Amino acid sequence: MCRLLLILALFCAVPAAADPRPEGLMWNRSGKPLTLPLQILSDPGEDLYVTLDEGAGPVLAAYIRGGKPFRLLVPPGRFAVAITAGRDWQGEDGLFGSATRHVALPGALDFGIEGVGRRSGHLVDLRGGSVAVRDFGLCRGADLSSPLTEAKPPRVAPPVRMPPEPKTLAEPRRVERRLSPPDQALPNRPLVPGIDPQTRPFARPFPEPSRIPIPRVAIPDRPAPPVRARPSAAQAGAHWTVCD
């Protein structure tokens, strides 16, 4: 019986020993898409609780485990970023208890789109006990692992092949037929008045050949298949890389 009670006590103690600390984005009440980067670097040993305030109260909250590089996507706008640090997390109301440490930033931070395809944010470096804030941006690039981005160059139709130059018809040879000695007697009168068929060959009349040019007709190849339109960044699996 004592062993059974001991086993039950151990099972009941497991949830109490579990780590209650959250991690990552906790909630977003801004009603805007989270597209702009906020990266925070910190030393191990203390966790961070981060909130973004647009003026009427916090609109976003996140929890960061100390020592892990953390990148958070935030909505566009101008926000006062509040950071508290500590070891013993006691919830959003109690924060880290009496050991809560507040990190002061120089001022409000702006998040937005700059130029063409550059998402402008900030990097907050809390390592070494100092506070440094600098600009941080993400630029759009093609995802090389996506099969849709392996676009082949558009097919260029080959030049139209022209037929060779027509050859001039050769001058036809006149077929001359000489009358061989007939097996039977021919009439004494000539076939043509004034021409004796026995002494002068008879030429079969052929019309004079004419030069008939063969027109040059273009023989086009099969039409090139239509080029598929390049997919948009979202369809092609576009990703964002760190840019200066």
Highest mean pLDDT among 160-164, 185-189, 232-236: 160-164
**What's the pLDDT at 101?**
92
**What sign results for the dihedral spanned by CA atoms 72, 77, 78, 84?**
negative
Counted residue by residue, the chain has a size of: 244
pLDDT (0 to 100) of residue 26:
93
Highest mean pLDDT among 115-124, 135-144, 145-154, 211-220: 115-124
- pLDDT reported for residue 146: 41
What long-range pairs does 164-167 form, CB within 8 A, spacing at least 24?
A: 166/213, 166/214, 166/216
**pLDDT over 90 for what percent of the chain?**
28
**Is 50 exceeded by the pLDDT of residue 218?**
yes
Alpha helices in 178-223 (DSSP H): none
Q: Which carries the bigger pLDDT value, residue 30 or residue 183?
A: 30
Q: Is the pLDDT of residue 15 over 50?
A: no
Domain 30-143+237-243 sits in CATH 2.60.40? yes
> Dihedral through CA 82, CA 85, CA 89, CA 92, nearest 10?
-10
**Which are the contacts of 67, defined by CB distance < 8 A and separation ≥ 6?**
42, 43, 44, 45
Spell out the domain ranges in the chain: 30-143+237-243
pLDDT higher for 175 or 222?
A: 222
Confidence of residue 17 (pLDDT cuts 50, 70, 90): very low
Rounded to two decimals, the pTM is: 0.53
Residue 180 scores a pLDDT above 90: no
pLDDT in tens, 54-72: 888 899 999 999 888 888 8
Q: Which of 15-19, 191-195, 231-235 has the highest mean pLDDT?
A: 191-195
**What is the rounded average pLDDT of the residues 136-158?**
61
In the chain, which ranges are E strands? Answer: 24-28, 36-41, 47-53, 58-64, 70-74, 77-86, 101-103, 109-114, 118-125, 132-141, 176-177, 202-203, 239-243
Position 212 pLDDT exceeds 50 = yes
Give the side-chain half-sphere CA count within 13 A for 132. Answer: 9
Q: Tell me: pLDDT of 178 over 70.
A: no
Q: Give pLDDT tens digits for 34-52.
A: 989 999 999 999 999 999 9
Q: Give the pLDDT band of residue 237 (cuts 50, 70, 90).
A: very low
pLDDT at 172: 58
pLDDT score for 219: 66
Average pLDDT, the chain: 73
